[in-house]
């Protein structure tokens, strides 16, 4: 599972050839959440409130890049790194 960004202790990852809808995985310590790229909602799992806010803020800024990385992963190609939240 390639890591596409890291910031404030959060890891943002995508699986190759993952199931629809387009999404990414956010990991923070022992917490994990699957986030829908288009709707920016939690599909599965959970994160602490502040960590989730950071992830959603970041994802809103990089939605097009996340979709591009999703498309690359679906084609078994390595995703591009995305700038972290600063």
For the chain, residues with pLDDT lower than 70 are none
Neighbours of 25 (CB within 10 A): 20
How many domains is the chain built from? 1
pLDDT (0 to 100) of residue 45 = 98
Classify residue 40: in a domain, yes or no. yes
pLDDT (0 to 100) of residue 4 = 97
Classify residue 80: in a domain, yes or no. no
Q: Where does the chain show beta strands of DSSP type E?
A: 3-7, 10-13, 23-28, 31-36, 42-46
pTM of the model: 0.94
Classify residue 82: in a domain, yes or no. no
Classify residue 29: in a domain, yes or no. yes
Classify residue 86: in a domain, yes or no. no
Classify residue 81: in a domain, yes or no. no
| Residue ranges making up the domain that contains 64 | 3-74
Q: At residue 66, what are phi and psi to the nearest 5 degrees?
A: -60, -45
pLDDT (0 to 100) of residue 17 = 78
């Amino acid at each position: 599972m390639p890591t596409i960004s890291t910031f404030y202790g959060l890891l943002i990852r995508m699986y190759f050839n993952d199931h629809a809808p387009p999404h990414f995985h956010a990991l923070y310590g022992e917490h994990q959440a699957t986030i829908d790229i288009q709707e920016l909602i939690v599909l599965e799992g959970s994160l602490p409130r502040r960590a989730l806010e950071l992830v959603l803020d970041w994802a809103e800024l990089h939605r097009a890049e996340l979709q591009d990385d999703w498309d690359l992963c679906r084609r078994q190609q390595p995703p591009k790194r995305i700038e972290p939240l600063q």
